Amino acid sequence: MQSSPDSTFTLRQALPETLRDCRAVEVLERSLAQNRLGHGILLHGESPAFLEEIVRAIASVLLQTTRDPYEHPDCFVLRPAGKARIIKIGSEADRIGGEWPKNSMRRLVIDVQKSSNQGGRKVGIVFDADRMNTQSANAFLKTLEEPPEGTTLFLLTSRPYDLLDTIRSRCLNFRIPAGIETIAHEDWPNWVRGYREWLGMLLNGPTRQNIPHIMLGAYGLNARFQSILNNMTTESWKAHKGSLPEHINEDEMKAMEAGMSKGFRKQLFGEIEKETVAYARDIEAANPGELPSIALNRAVEVLEKSAGLLELNFNQAAALELFFLQSLRIWTTR
């Protein structure tokens, strides 16, 4: 049996403060201390950056290293690649000297089956695991069914129910709650104020005087949303790019940046929903009995529908425009 991780090097110590009090982290740390972590771990949540921080920390503890765990010879990482952001199984045509291509599922499976380079544990990490195609998912499932000794496999995703049921059932599932994820962009509070003011115009009812302001306000909010999202992605990617291993190729980096943008977008859509609910409750608090519950439910449904369209590669700005135009009808005809 593999030795347990060094108790002096804890998961909490390896994490930023914002993540240390998360319930999932408490359970993971207890499992690490008792050497009962299991061989398959599914980490899911709305922030890819937070998921990666947690898996980096766990990998550091398992591999007993204070250096970047991705550079450890017993840590194997697999990410989506290409414009389609697919995790491929690896083709015979790409084999070089009998070796399966890097960043392919077949390469990961073979790597984790080998003996540990340093005599300790091995770690395999699959980012954006929902991007596995059928072949990759089946190959990974076989590895989960017969896990290599001393190996812990991690799946990271914001869409856990897109994974095969048989994969989910063989993993310990940990959700990193949205409550610990905050929007750090300096312009977001102003966007929220603008959105609440816009909702106020809708609730007061359209007039000849304010209809142009309502329409321009919707398009302005959309444009500002796109700007905030692009800026968040650019700044985060700039900081993250420098810490990537040298062997990451251009296709993989493009896929990683797209995944980062997708994570931030989902986070921002979640914030819009929270602000919509909060605004309706503020109306109720100021005017008891006036909570526009039907309008609120319809607005949330439209927002979720718009978010769903984005998962089908619908145009980002058009999806949000749809939400604003539908909101106009919902709130002014309540």
pLDDT at 17: 67
CA–CA distance from 76 to each of 8, 48, 73, 79 (Å)?
25, 18, 8, 10
Contact (CB, 8 A) for 176 and 52:
no
pLDDT at 220: 95
pLDDT-derived band at 294, boundaries 50, 70, 90: confident
Average confidence score pLDDT of the chain: 84
Does the global pTM surpass 0.75? no
Residue 158 shares a structural domain with residue 236: no
Which of 22-31, 85-94, 281-290 is the most confident on average? 85-94
325 has a pLDDT exceeding 60: yes
84 has a pLDDT exceeding 50: yes
Write the CATH number for 129. 3.40.50.300
Which of 78-82, 94-98, 152-156, 274-278 is the most confident on average? 152-156
256, containing H or E segment: helix 250-286
Lowest mean pLDDT among 9-18, 128-137, 226-235, 262-271: 9-18
**Mean pLDDT to the nearest integer, 123-131:** 94
Residue 218 shares a structural domain with residue 326: yes
Residue 34 shares a structural domain with residue 148: yes
Residue 260 shares a structural domain with residue 281: yes
For residue 250, being part of any structural domain is answered with yes
CA–CA distance from 266 to each of 14, 125, 185, 278 (Å)?
26, 22, 15, 18
For residue 93, being part of any structural domain is answered with yes
Residue 128 shares a structural domain with residue 27: yes
Percent of the chain at pLDDT exceeding 70? 89
For residue 4, being part of any structural domain is answered with no
pLDDT-derived band at 147, boundaries 50, 70, 90: confident
For residue 202, being part of any structural domain is answered with yes
Alpha carbons 228 and 188: distance in angstroms, whole number: 7
Greater model confidence, 12 or 186: 186
pLDDT at 100: 84
Residue 114 shares a structural domain with residue 197: no
196 has a pLDDT exceeding 90: yes
Per-residue pLDDT tens over the stretch 233-262: 898 888 777 767 666 777 778 877 887 888
Q: How many folded domains does the chain comprise?
A: 2
For residue 1, being part of any structural domain is answered with no
pLDDT at 178: 56
CA–CA distance from 107 to each of 76, 78, 91, 156 (Å)?
9, 9, 11, 18
pLDDT at 77: 93
Q: Which of 155, 180, 205 is the last residue of a domain?
A: 180
Greater model confidence, 242 or 56: 56
Per the structure block, which two tokens stand in for 250? Answer: 């251009």
Nearest to 275 by CA among 176, 193, 181: 193
18 has a pLDDT exceeding 70: no
Alpha carbons 146 and 174: distance in angstroms, whole number: 22
pLDDT at 7: 45
Per-residue pLDDT tens over the stretch 215-236: 999 999 999 999 999 999 898 8
For residue 103, being part of any structural domain is answered with yes
**Mean pLDDT to the nearest integer, 70-80:** 92
Residue 17 shares a structural domain with residue 166: yes
For residue 263, being part of any structural domain is answered with yes
Q: Which of 115, 147, 180 is the last residue of a domain?
A: 180
Percent of the chain at pLDDT exceeding 90? 33
Residue 115 shares a structural domain with residue 218: no
Structural domain for 267, as ranges: 188-332
pLDDT-derived band at 181, boundaries 50, 70, 90: low
